[in-house]
Amino acid sequence: MKKVMVVIDECNSSYDLLIWVLENLKDSIESSKLLIFAAQPLLASFTPPSAFSSSVGCAQMFFPFSANAELTWLAREKTKVISMGLLERAKKICADHGIKAETFTEAGDPKDIICRVVQEHMIDTLIISDQQNRNLTRSFMGGLSGYCSRNAECTVLVVKRET
């Protein structure tokens, strides 16, 4: 059985992507195992030293003071809760389309985590939005699609959002 993984984040384009996949690739999805993944970004370093920021996909959290271990833990827990909420919404969208999906999340640099998950779960097809690919292109050359196709050895489908 083939495995298909869709990457989501808190941007509405992620849900548009998921709905597009469910409606346009329904025959392929019904005969495959669908996995939905949300990466939990690592907390950013201090810039400047008195300001702590954490990127959560399109959103950012700012703390106007130095972080200690407890604050770092609280911020990580908050990103985990956000990711779990995103996955619950995605699971409901899948159920509304008659598709059962497996959901999961992990913390780390999204490009590394996504490619590692693709390898560990032996994903055959990775589906991301062009917006996600553009966001990740800023952190490394070639975008996620180029990085994963070179390093994860799977088919990568980048879906362009209609404007």
Which structural domain range is residue 139 located in?
A: 2-41+81-159
At 149, the pLDDT band (50, 70, 90 cuts) reads: low
> Which pLDDT score is estimated for 79?
83
Residue 58 falls inside a structural domain: no
Q: Is residue 48 part of a domain?
A: no
Indicate the pLDDT class of residue 51, thresholds 50, 70 and 90: very low
In a domain, 49, yes or no: no
> Residue 113 domain-assigned?
yes
Contact 3, 31 (CB under 8 A): no
DSSP 49-106: TT-EEEEETTEEEEESS---HHHHHHHHHHHHHHHHHHHHHHHHHHHHTT--EEEEEE
CB atoms within 10 A of CB 160: 11
- Residue predicted with more confidence, 121 or 77: 121
* CATH number of the CATH domain containing 119: 3.40.50.620
Is residue 70 a part of any domain in this protein? no
At 34 the pLDDT is 95
The count of structural domains within the chain is 1
Decide if 61 is inside a domain.
Answer: no
**Per-residue model confidence as pLDDT tens digits over 59-102:** 555 555 555 777 777 777 888 888 888 899 999 999 999 999 99
CA angle 154, 158, 163 (to 5 degrees): 170
In-domain check, residue 57: no
